[in-house]
Structure 1
Amino acid sequence: MNDPHYILLPANPLFIALSLIAAFLLNLLPWGQWVGVPDFVALVLVFWAIHEPRKIGISIAFMMGLLMDVNEATLLGENALAYTLLSYFSIMIHRRVLWFPVGTQALHILPLMLLTQAVQLLVRLMVSGKFPHWYYFSESFVCALLWPLVTWLLLAPQRRAINRDDNRPI
């Protein structure tokens, strides 16, 4: 996958939209109260912000954050602020992250996910004054562990050749 001679096809905007919808639907499942269940929308947003920063930007992150705010019945703008910052910082480091192998990319993703959760926690503390629990940040570590799988899944449609030919190495 990180072979320098391998050229990826351009990402299909329809596939990007479908992956965001699938991530949103995964977040709708009732496992949100379990410890360590990742925020799939944040994970897919950071993936596309790193791999396709011109197609997925801060405005899409803001809209997905508003959808998550309505879904979770949280303070309107809590997730929107966190996702906007996540997208901004992902776009800032996207060139650097793509130079590394997937395992090292996960180490770059971890602070971004921790920042997202810290912003969400800060907003919740200002509004309610309740600290959830210390293992609240385990979600970010699970996202970092899932990064290689997410990268493999979301880059799969770009790896196929348009006209398959055994004589062509690319």
Structure 2
Amino acid sequence: MHQPHYILLPVNPIFIAVSLVGAFLLNMLPWGGLAGVPDFVALVLVFWSIHQPRRVGIGVAFFMGILMDVHDATLLGENALSYTLLSYFAIMIHRRVLWFPMSTQALHVLPLFMLMQAVQVVIRWIVSQQAPGWFFFSESVVATLLWPVVTWLLLAPQRRAVNRDDTRPI
């Protein structure tokens, strides 16, 4: 039925910071506004808000949003608002999401990514009366498809044994 749940090691706060910086650097790559390229900062924020809500919360999301606003040269606060809402709703459902298998977790985070992009579209429409179109939401679908990969990558350091012993089952 379900895969067994492993006892994870505590997460290193430095690893959380490095993963957020890495996601920010991925967002800084010159994708050139290609449709379907996910927002890596949002993906990592949702992951840490679900797995470590006491360490990565709304304040970190706001700070990362301000950084993305400055980088993208968008309206100051657009990404900050969408990231804080994203983090808030991820923290709200964090206990529920962790009980499901990976495919169902991905279905739970899809509305979060869609909400984040809908907030961005509404803000852009209010400011400039321009809407990007429905293909803009393909980023949410791609981010949802990347959810299992990101989960596997970011939980990998916590799965290793402290003292490796071949006779111990855990």
Normalised by the shorter chain, which TM-score bucket? Answer: over 0.9
Q: How does 1:75-90 map to 2 (within 5 A)?
A: 75-90=75-90
The aligned residue for residue 132 of structure 1 is 132
Once the two structures are TM-superposed, the CA of residue 132 in structure 1 deviates from its matched residue by 1.1
The aligned residue for residue 168 of structure 2 is 168
Q: Aligned in 2, Cα 1:74/1:46: closer, same or farther, shift over 3 Å?
A: same
Does 2:107 align with 1:113?
A: no
Q: Which runs of 4+ in 1 moved over 2 A?
A: none
Q: In the aligned structure 2, how far is the partner of 1:79 from the partner of 1:9?
A: 32
Between the aligned residues of both structures, percent identity stands at 72
TM-score (norm 2): 0.97
The aligned residue for residue 95 of structure 2 is 95
Cα RMSD of the aligned pairs, angstroms, is: 1.0
Does 2:53 align with 1:58?
A: no
Once the two structures are TM-superposed, the CA of residue 3 in structure 1 deviates from its matched residue by 1.3
* Number of residue pairs aligned between Structure 1 and Structure 2: 169
Q: How does 1:9-88 map to 2 (within 5 A)?
A: 9-88=9-88
Once the two structures are TM-superposed, the CA of residue 2 in structure 1 deviates from its matched residue by 4.6
Q: What whole-Å deviation, never above 9, does each CA across 1:146-165 have from its counterpart, x for those lacking one?
A: 00000000000000001001
Q: Which runs of 5+ in 1 are unaligned?
A: none
Q: What whole-Å deviation, never above 9, does each CA across 1:108-156 have from its counterpart, x for those lacking one?
A: 0100000000001100000000011220000000000000000000000
Once the two structures are TM-superposed, the CA of residue 73 in structure 1 deviates from its matched residue by 0.3
Once the two structures are TM-superposed, the CA of residue 32 in structure 1 deviates from its matched residue by 4.3
AA aligned opposite 2:97: V
Secondary structure of 2:31's counterpart equals helix
